[in-house]
């Protein structure tokens, strides 16, 4: 049974907490959605704000392949004629081939939110759809709160759908707007509607009970031919049905080709790109596209995956553009290290590395989040020769006074048997420390000039020790095409930071010395 995907990332997704798209953002996301072949892309609500009105003017000049751009709006106002309703006029002025109209399907909303009577609500739906059809539009009717309405008053909820169908709606979308319906409730309601009406059905689910994807799949299996959702599940409250989960599930599990087969391999890229545009941190454990979706930590798991990936992976990661990760920690076995270490590593070295990791993680280090420090640990056990530089001493002075504070750092660094001493100030002690280290290193290693720090995380490991607690510091650095993370640990947050910063720059220099094209491109 075919299915049409309908993406509402640009409207419903924009209602998620912390998300605010610019016009440029919306156009970029449109192009990414079109590139993977999403059939319907809802651009926004013309007339509701200047940005959305501008979007529908700008998107006309944008190449969007076979994707249809949809303008979203509501039925006419209860006290206005449809031809005089400014919101309806804005929908027509958007000049899209497809218009989505939301109308009330729950008697509670009709009486308490719209504050009108049942017949007036039906008239609003009828007149709005008729006008849009007369203008040649494909009309998608979103029956808002349909499932709540069907449970409360099934006769009226079905009457709402009948009215929209009789007016000429091309699609009837059943909305679980509150996100509280259960899969069996979705199933029974959708089946009832399919027996009552011939107009194609769609489903729009929210994730307030962590069931949006399950409910959308249940609706599809019960007869809904359109599935609405958002990339990464963005949306109001707990979000919408997550298309990055639905698409591969439909395609790989149910055999439904909802996007071109070759586009499926771009799904992880689209998920990350939309997340970056939305300025939302990606969820590592997101199914299919998350960084942890194919990450293996337990030694038994890794040993099995080496023999047959299907033993612990339900699909091949590259089918959705993701990749396998093997994590190393105190829970790891030799299989993890064999996977990560160079083939020249001896069994003795694997044993020594694993022993050292377990000792350090027992103290507070964490290597699964610090790829660069793990690699340096292995290098140091393989080759104990001196690194390109060594941080001998670091001192930080912080002066806090009412209304102001300053921080200064002094470091001594040994480079090629010469000790260099530098000092620098900063907005805080760690910033001052990093500035002092860079001041010593960059004149000698000019390639470090273009390395920048992206993130700095601190975690207190034993808070019951209060100010004596052991502190873990993670530092993320980035080049143009590569990023890496280092870890430092100890009861002194400055020394832990200094350790992580030292590893940051040693790692970059070690990669350059080995001719690593990713790091060398930026350094």
pLDDT in tens, 158-192: 999 999 999 999 999 999 999 999 999 999 999 99
Give me the pLDDT at residue 344, please. Answer: 43
User: What pTM, to 2 d.p., does this model score?
Assistant: 0.74
Within this chain, domains 4-257 and 390-520 share the same CATH topology: no
Domain 4-257, CATH class in plain words: alpha beta
Residues 6 or more apart in contact with residue 355 via CB below 8 angstroms: none
Q: How many percent of the chain have pLDDT more than 70?
A: 91
Give the contacts of 117 (CB within 8 A, at least 6 positions apart). Answer: 110, 111
| Percent residues over pLDDT 90 in the chain | 66
Nearest to 185 by CA among 236, 156, 151, 144: 151
Half-sphere exposure of 83 (CA within 13 A, CB side): 2
* Mean per-residue pLDDT, 103-114: 94
Is the torsion defined by CA of 37, 205, 42, 170 positive or negative? positive
The span from the CA of 412 to the CA of 340, in Å, is: 34
Rounded mean pLDDT of 465-480? Answer: 86
Q: Which residue has the tokens 């806090």?
A: 400
Contact 246, 275 (CB under 8 A): no
Mean pLDDT, residues 455-462: 88
pLDDT at residue 327, rounded to an integer: 60
- Quick: pLDDT tens for 347-371: 566 777 778 887 888 888 888 778 8
Q: Which residues of 246-279 are buried (b: 16+ CB within 10 A; e: fewer)?
A: bbbbbbbeeebebbeeebbebbbbbbbbbbebbe
Mean pLDDT of 433-447: 94
Assigned CATH topology for domain 390-520: Double Stranded RNA Binding Domain (3.30.160)
Residue boundaries of the structural domains of the chain: 4-257, 295-363, 390-520
Alpha-carbon distance values, 18 to 144, 225, 279 (Å) = 24, 32, 8
**What's the residue count for the chain?**
523
| Range from 165-179, 303-317, 480-494 that averages highest in pLDDT | 165-179
Q: Indicate if the pLDDT at residue 142 is higher than 60.
A: yes
């Amino acid at each position: 049974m075919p299915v049409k995907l309908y993406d509402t990332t640009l409207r419903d997704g924009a209602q998620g907490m912390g998300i605010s798209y610019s016009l440029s953002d919306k156009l970029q996301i449109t192009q990414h959605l079109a590139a993977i072949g999403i059939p319907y892309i809802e651009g926004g609500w013309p007339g509701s704000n200047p940005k959305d009105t501008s979007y529908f003017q700008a998107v006309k000049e944008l190449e969007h392949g076979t994707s249809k751009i949809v303008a979203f709006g509501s039925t006419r106002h209860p006290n206005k004629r449809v031809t005089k309703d400014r919101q309806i006029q804005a929908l027509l002025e958007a000049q899209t081939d497809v218009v989505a109209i939301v109308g009330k399907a729950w008697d509670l909303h009709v009486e308490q939110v719209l504050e009108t009577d049942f017949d007036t609500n039906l008239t609003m739906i009828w007149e709005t759809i008729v006008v849009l059809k007369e203008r040649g539009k494909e009309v998608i009717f979103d029956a808002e709160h349909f499932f709540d309405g069907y449970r409360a008053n099934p006769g009226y909820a079905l009457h709402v759908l009948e009215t929209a169908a009789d007016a000429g709606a091309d699609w009837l979308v059943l909305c679980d707007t509150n996100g509280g319906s259960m899969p069996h409730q979705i199933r029974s309601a959708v089946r009832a509607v399919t027996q009552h009406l011939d107009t194609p059905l769609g489903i729009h689910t929210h994730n307030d009970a962590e069931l949006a994807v399950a409910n959308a799949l249940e609706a599809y299996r019960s007869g809904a031919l359109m599935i609405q959702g958002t990339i990464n599940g963005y949306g109001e409250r707990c979000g919408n049905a997550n298309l990055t989960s639905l698409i591969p599930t439909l395609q790989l599990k149910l055999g439904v080709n909802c996007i071109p087969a070759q586009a499926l391999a771009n799904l992880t890229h689209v998920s990350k790109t939309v997340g970056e545009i939305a300025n939302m941190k990606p969820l590592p454990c997101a199914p299919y596209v998350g960084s942890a979706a194919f990450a293996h930590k337990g030694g038994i798991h890794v040993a099995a995956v080496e023999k047959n990936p299907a033993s612990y992976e339900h699909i091949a990661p590259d089918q959705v553009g993701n990749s396998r990760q093997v994590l190393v920690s105190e829970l790891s076995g030799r299989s993890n290290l064999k996977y990560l270490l160079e083939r020249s590593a001896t069994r003795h070295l694997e044993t020594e590395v694993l022993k050292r990791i377990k000792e350090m993680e027992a103290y507070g280090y964490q290597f699964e989040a610090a790829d660069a420090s793990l690699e340096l640990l292995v290098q140091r056990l393989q080759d104990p020769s001196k690194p390109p530089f060594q941080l001998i001493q670091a001192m930080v002075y912080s002066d806090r006074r009412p209304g102001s504070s300053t921080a200064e750092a002094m470091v001594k660094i040994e480079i090629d048997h010469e000790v260099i001493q530098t000092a620098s100030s900063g907005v805080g002690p760690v910033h001052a420390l990093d500035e002092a280290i860079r001041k010593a290193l960059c004149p000698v290693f000019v390639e470090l000039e273009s390395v920048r720090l992206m993130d700095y995380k601190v975690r207190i490991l034993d808070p019951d020790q209060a100010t004596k607690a052991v502190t873990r510091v993670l530092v993320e650095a980035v080049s143009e095409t590569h990023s890496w993370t280092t870890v430092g640990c100890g009861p002194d947050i400055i020394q832990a930071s200094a350790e992580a910063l030292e590893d940051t720059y040693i790692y970059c220099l070690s990669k350059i010395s080995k001719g690593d094209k990713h790091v060398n491109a930026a350094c």
